[in-house]
Amino acid sequence: MAELPQSLEQAIAQAQAATQAALAAGYSRLQVDLLIPELKPMPVAQQYLSLFSDYGAGLKVFFADAGAAALARRDWGDVPFPIRGVNELLNPVQPEDRVFVLVAPTPVEVMQVEAMANQAGDRPFILLNAKLEDIATIGIGYAGRQLRQRFLATFEPCYYLRPLDWGAVLRIYPSPWQVWLEQAEDQYQLIAEEAERPAGDRLDQILLTATSTPNPRAGWLTDLQRLFRALTQ
Candidates 2.60.40, 3.30.360, 3.30.70, 3.40.50; CATH matching 1-233: 3.40.50
User: Rounded to the nearest 5 degrees, what angle is found at the Cα of 52, between the Cα atoms of 49 and 54?
Assistant: 140
Asked if the model's pLDDT at residue 149 lies above 80, the reply is no
Sheet with 125-128, edge to edge strand ranges? 83-85, 59-63, 99-103, 125-128, 29-34, 156-163, 167-172, 177-184, 187-194
103-115 confidence digits (pLDDT tens): 999 988 888 999 9
The whole-number pLDDT of residue 226 equals 52
167-199 confidence digits (pLDDT tens): 999 999 999 999 999 887 778 899 999 999 998
Stated pTM of the model:
0.86
Asked if the model's pLDDT at residue 166 lies above 70, the reply is yes
Give phi and psi for 104, each to the nearest 5.
Answer: 50, 45
Domain ranges of the chain: 1-233
**Residues 19-34: what's their mean pLDDT?**
98
Under DSSP, is residue 137 helix (H, G, I), strand (E, B) or coil?
A: coil
Residues in a beta bridge with 60:
100
The whole-number pLDDT of residue 132 equals 80
Q: Name the residue among 15, 67, 12, 83 with its Cα closest to residue 43.
A: 12
Q: Is the pLDDT higher at 131 or at 148?
A: 131
